Chains A and B, each alone.
Chain A
């Protein structure tokens, strides 16, 4: 049995895969990787299936000891990784020999970096997924963020990665965006034209207290035209809700399944991965697109992800 030992957990590192979808009627949030595209690509670099469980690191990476060695890849943001002191590139598979230590520092680009291990991180699945849901303490490694001296098992696999690098062209097309494309929300008409104008013309700043449940924004407050409380209803990933006070919150991967605030708009699926790379103090804007455009962008993105040209030998 091979293991990885956590020497330093970093700021906030959890076990994530692509989440557990389908348990909304029980109030269970899908959870899963904040930047699913990076996780999927990182896994393919080491020869895993796309949804294999990996470490999701946030803003400041950890240090990990591979006692028996492992094939690894880093995906997402550049956390300045070194292997026994020698720097390693992201988006490229590499081998840690027995006893080598992989160290990461603060981010040099976006918010999240995935450490994918050939064979995957093995935890007891909860509702079919290894993802950590922090609020309820379910899934992942004991339902919590990793701590110093945690030891996690690495899975067995016979799959061998063939291509170990990502092409620069592919990366350019999958760059996280700061202008988020959105379609109308279920309560768009609760907001007057003037409020919508403010919302779409303003630049918002990501607040420090943002987390995997919600990305809180600072900037121009917007008011709802209707008074009175809304009846709670289902809410989806990427919904932009406007609570009292008028500062929008983008519902994120560990969102609650229902909510009672009006939603002005919804980030399109093709831009979900961009949400996972937003750091506190980043400046973002919203751009309206049609439903058809949103769908076409998703189809195009999946086509790119399915293409083998993405990878180089």
Chain B
């Protein structure tokens, strides 16, 4: 609603699971004024027709060097790799919000059997395209960044491209499904 009918003086929005941070220009309006405007938006919340969600398929090559934590995750959870991969690819996830870095979509919910805590110490560098899991969430690292999620695979897709229309492959509300692919397919898609 705030994107379709922007409020003058609002400079940025940071949506998350169950909150929205609104950054505004304090020189243009006072806190109380904005609150009054936002309360009127909230009253209309029920009337909003959300667009039909987009369905996006993300191919993933699981395990091996692409998913260096898959073995550990399986050992912790008492699963075979095939079972863990099957679980991860079995459900359709929702994009709750994007955060951390451009194009990083927080996806949920991970099947309960796959829930694992974050790594004790984050990696200094995670390869772009890595698919991680943490708690009941999963997500894909768009860039080579530090990261504390456990890595189980990698996608050849570019999650965020400055030249592409829309920039980010995923947006809030999208439905996402991961499909297992072979190493050969990964390489073919990566070079496509």
Contact = CB atoms under 8 A, between A and B. Distances in A.
Interface string A277-299: 00000000000000100110011
B40 interface: no
Q: Which of A21, A137, A235 has the most CB of B within 10 A?
A: A137
Nearest to B23: A236
A293 to B, nearest CB: 12
B97 interface: yes
A138 B159 CA distance: 14
Contacts, number: 106
Nearest to B135: A229
Interface stretch (A2-10, A23-31, A95-103, A108-116): A23-31
Nearest to B99: A258
A68 B86 CA distance: 63
Given A25-B15, A30-B12, A135 B99 contact: no
A302 interface: yes
A137 B40 CA distance: 39
Interface in A181-230: 229
Nearest to A259: B99
A136 B17 contact: no
B79 to A, nearest CB: 24
A126 B14 CA distance: 19
A269 interface: yes
A258 B100 contact: yes
A233 interface: yes
Contact of B99 (A21, A133, A136, A256): A256
Interface residues of A, number: 35
Interface string B4-31: 0000000111111111110100110011
A259 B14 CA distance: 10
Q: Which one of B3, B19, B21 has the greatest number of beta carbons of chain A within 10 Å? A: B21
A259 B31 CA distance: 23
B170 to A, nearest CB: 10
Interface in B46-100: 97-100
A85 interface: no
Classify the secondary structure of B's interface with A: loop
Interface stretch (B150-158, B160-168, B184-192): B160-168
A232 B11 contact: no
Contact of B168 (A27, A30, A295): A27
Contacts of A22: 11-13
A231 interface: yes
B100 A24 contact: no
A257 interface: yes
B115 interface: no
A242 B40 CA distance: 34
Given A24-B14, A27-B104, A256-B101, A136 B143 contact: yes
A138 B102 contact: yes
B178 interface: no
B142 interface: yes
B106 interface: yes
B12 A27 contact: no
A257 B145 contact: no
B99 A232 contact: yes
Given A23-B12, A26-B102, A256-B101, A135 B145 contact: yes
A137 B144 CA distance: 9
Given A28-B102, A258-B99, A234 B14 contact: yes
Contacts of B103: 26-27
Interface in A246-269: 256-259, 269
A299 B168 CA distance: 36
A232 B106 contact: yes
Nearest to B117: A229
A231 B23 contact: no
A192 B69 CA distance: 38
Given A127-B167, A234-B20, A269-B26, 15 more contacts: A21-B11, A22-B13, A24-B12, A24-B23, A25-B98, A25-B171, A26-B167, A27-B98, A27-B102, A28-B102, A29-B101, A233-B17, A234-B19, A256-B101, A295-B30
Q: Which 3 A-B pairs have the closest CB atoms?
A: A234-B14, A234-B21, A258-B99
Interface of A: 21-30, 126-127, 133, 135-138, 229, 231-236, 256-259, 269, 291, 294-295, 298-299, 302
Interface of B: 3, 11-21, 23, 26-27, 30-31, 97-104, 106, 135, 142-143, 145, 160, 162, 167-168, 171-172
